Amino acid sequence: MKKPLSIAVKRMLRRGMAALCAFACVFAVSACGADDADGRIRIGIKFDQPGLGFKKNGTYVGFDVDVAKYIARKLGYSEDQIVWKEAPSKQREAMLQNGDVDFIVATYSITDERKRVVSFAGPYFVAGQDLLVRKDEKGIDGPEDLNGKRLCSVTGSTSAVTVKEKFANEVQLMEQPGYAECATALFSGIVDAVTTDDIILAGLASASRGRLRVVGKPFTQEYYGVGIKKGNTKLARNINNAISEMIKDGSWKRAIADNTKGVDYTPDAKYNPPKPKEGEK
Ligand code: GLU
């Protein structure tokens, strides 16, 4: 007659399973709960904005990248535990809602509209919407000169929304997936100006080697936040603490200096550095 599995063997198996479970659980909730089960953190950035979030020979550089790395380190992740994901303007909310990324640092303005579906930590920077024109442009000295002009901006950006709200009747707006495409349209004469945040335009002007210039009359304030899943107040608090430290220990200033070297751009000292206090409650 076949003997049933001995009690001792059964007990051993049960203990083994319990140990395995405990191990898996610890893994899944390690650090702040913002990571993959494999211990990596997924961060959304831009790949095509020089000076902010830029992919260069398989590495990632820019002010947003430096802010993201600093935050990741404070949350307990080394640089090789970061998985960088491209977060185009139009896709940011969906990426956070779907859990494709743990947080986003991508020139992402804090707005009430966006706060209906995602939350923010920060702000960590304040920019202003401005205009980029060809070097020899004579007719555009500020937003007051936009009547009858053709503008390019990016789908899903506050910049495109502002154009539609403020200049709907006077301008023709072309929308592109990224600002690099807008710069190309400006080079080729398809549009008369590109509009978005001054710090983004300054990077594009610098990359154009003198062929494009920023007008320099900002007409909005863009408070850059770190996008997180809606309601994650604990992560917001941790990120705000990291940003505060980055400002306090001089890393914020250094990151700005490093990433605007040779670029004609100085952050508006009236708003920068800002006080991070968003999303905690
Ligand atoms: N800061 C603006 C925004 O969040 C424009 C820059 C961008 O598209 O990333 O929409």
- Strands (DSSP E) found in 46-176: 48-49, 53-56, 59-61, 82-86, 103-104, 118-127, 129-134, 150-154, 172-176
- Which has the closest alpha carbon to 172: 199, 154, 148, 193? 148
Q: Is the CB of 198 under 6 A from ligand 1?
A: no
CA of 128 to the centre of ligand 1 (A): 10
Quote the tokens at residue 160: 């495109």
Closest atom, ligand 1, to C-alpha of 111: 4
| Same domain assignment for residues 79 and 144 | no
Q: Is the CB of 108 under 6 A from ligand 1?
A: yes
| Same domain assignment for residues 171 and 249 | no
Which region, left, alpha or beta, applies to residue 262 given φ > 0 means left and ψ of -120 to 50 means alpha? left
CATH of the domain at 241: 3.40.190.10
**The pLDDT value given to residue 20:** 42
Helical segments of the chain, H only: 7-28, 63-74, 92-98, 112-115, 158-166, 179-187, 198-207, 233-248, 251-259
| Same domain assignment for residues 120 and 58 | yes
Closest atom, ligand 1, to C-alpha of 109: 4
CB 225 within 8 A of CB 115: no
Quote the tokens at residue 91: 């896709």
- Kind and range of the H or E run holding 227: strand 222-229
Q: Is the CB of 153 under 6 A from ligand 1?
A: no
Q: Tens-digit pLDDT profile for the chain (281 aa)?
A: 444 445 444 455 455 444 444 444 344 444 444 555 689 999 999 999 999 999 999 999 999 999 999 999 999 999 999 999 999 999 999 999 999 999 999 999 999 999 999 999 999 999 999 999 999 999 999 999 999 999 999 999 999 999 999 998 999 999 999 999 999 999 999 999 999 999 999 999 999 999 999 999 999 999 999 999 999 999 999 999 999 999 999 999 999 999 999 999 999 999 999 999 999 98
In a domain, 92, yes or no: yes
CA of 122 to the centre of ligand 1 (A): 15
CA of 108 to the centre of ligand 1 (A): 5
**The pLDDT value given to residue 146:** 97
Domains contained in the chain, number? 2
In a domain, 273, yes or no: no
In whole angstroms, what is the distance from residue 131 CA to residue 194 CA? 6
**The pLDDT value given to residue 45:** 98
What is the amino acid identity at position 218? P
pTM: 0.88
In a domain, 112, yes or no: yes
| Same domain assignment for residues 122 and 133 | no
**The pLDDT value given to residue 114:** 98
- Determine phi and psi for 279, rounding to 5 degrees: 75, 10
Closest atom, ligand 1, to C-alpha of 127: 1
State the sign of the Cα–Cα–Cα–Cα dihedral 53, 59, 61, 65. positive
Domain that holds residue 49: 37-127+222-259
